[in-house]
Amino acid sequence: MENIWHQEVRKPFQTKETASLTFVKGNDGNIWIISSKDGDLQTIQSNQDVVQTVKWMKAGQPQEVRLLLSAGSNGTIKLWRMIETTGFRLVQSVTVTEHQIEDIDVFGTKLVVVGTGGIFFYEVHPYAKVVFEPINRVLETVTGNRIQTDLGKIRGVRFFNQGNSVVVGMLQRVIIGWDLPTGKRMFRERIETRIGNMEWCEEARKLAVWNLDDGVDVYDIQDTLIATPIKIPLNVKRLFPIQVRFLTEEMLVIGSDNGTVVIASILSRSVIKKLRHEDMRE
């Protein structure tokens, strides 16, 4: 979750795919990896300025091999690999854009990258000489990687429909989805709040958006996006792009700007549990 440790660290993560490790990424350009089994700490000197986000990657590799993608504010993506008990080592780096990367998502070997510079697609080959293969996708209303209808900052991106579609969230209140095989735009909806961060749940067909104003909005996406969200109000003190993740189809874990992590119910539209990182370290 972003800003649990908002003084020193920007976004700690834990992912379902590799539950024995927890990612913590810092403003100093390092990636900290903590074992949830024994508390061991690994540090990767990423040299990407601020590490914007990290993602586990599962690409049919052996169980003992773990792959990690990191995105930097300097416009680079890096692939890291760990085998058994060895530390993570850099496999390859690619400069995607001269602008800051805001978010990435990965589905199998498909990678999508977004930021002020636009939207970019790659095929990732972890064991090839050239790891990052640019993919020239033709998307409706996108020219030269830029969304012509909405030229502002893209804050979030997620694959959906089992990797066959992609949705982006713009800072200035717009959510857009495309069908990748055809390149057709599926929807473009203007919403009431700005977008700081977002997460997708394939099973529930729900998109959770940290809205930078008053908490989290949860949207349904079937063939199109239903623009009237379920709202979970939270006390927003500072305009950090707080991270949100699905625990289950009906429960969210949400970071904060005051050192608190909250568990929220979508059904009741309320916070059901609060955790402070001081308590979790005991």
Asked if residue 265 is part of any domain, the answer here is no
CATH number for the domain spanning 214: value is 2.130.10.10
Domain that holds residue 157: 9-236
Asked if residue 166 is part of any domain, the answer here is yes
Asked if residue 253 is part of any domain, the answer here is no
Distance between CA 197 and CA 210 in Å, rounded? 5
Asked if residue 267 is part of any domain, the answer here is no
pTM of the model: 0.87
Asked if residue 4 is part of any domain, the answer here is no
Between 167 and 21, the more confident residue is: 167
Return the DSSP state at 280: H
pLDDT digits 0-9 by tens, 50-100: 898 899 998 777 877 889 999 999 999 999 999 877 789 999 999 999 999
CB atoms under 10 Å from CB of 64, counted, come to 10
DSSP states of 75-140 as a string?
SEEEEEEEETTSPPEEEEEEE--SSPEEEEEEETTEEEEEETTEEEEEEE-TTSSS-EEEE----T
Asked if residue 177 is part of any domain, the answer here is yes
| Residues near 39 by beta carbon (within 8 Å), at least 6 away in sequence | none
For residue 30, pLDDT over 90 is answered with no
> Based on the structure, what is the number of domains in the chain?
1
How far from the centroid of its chain's Cα atoms is residue 129's Cα? 27
For residue 6, pLDDT over 80 is answered with no
Rounded (10°) CA dihedral 5, 9, 13, 19: -90
Distance between CA 61 and CA 17 in Å, rounded? 13
Return the DSSP state at 229: P
Asked if 146 and 118 count as a contact pair (C-beta separation under 8 A), the reply is yes
Asked if residue 43 is part of any domain, the answer here is yes
Asked if residue 63 is part of any domain, the answer here is yes
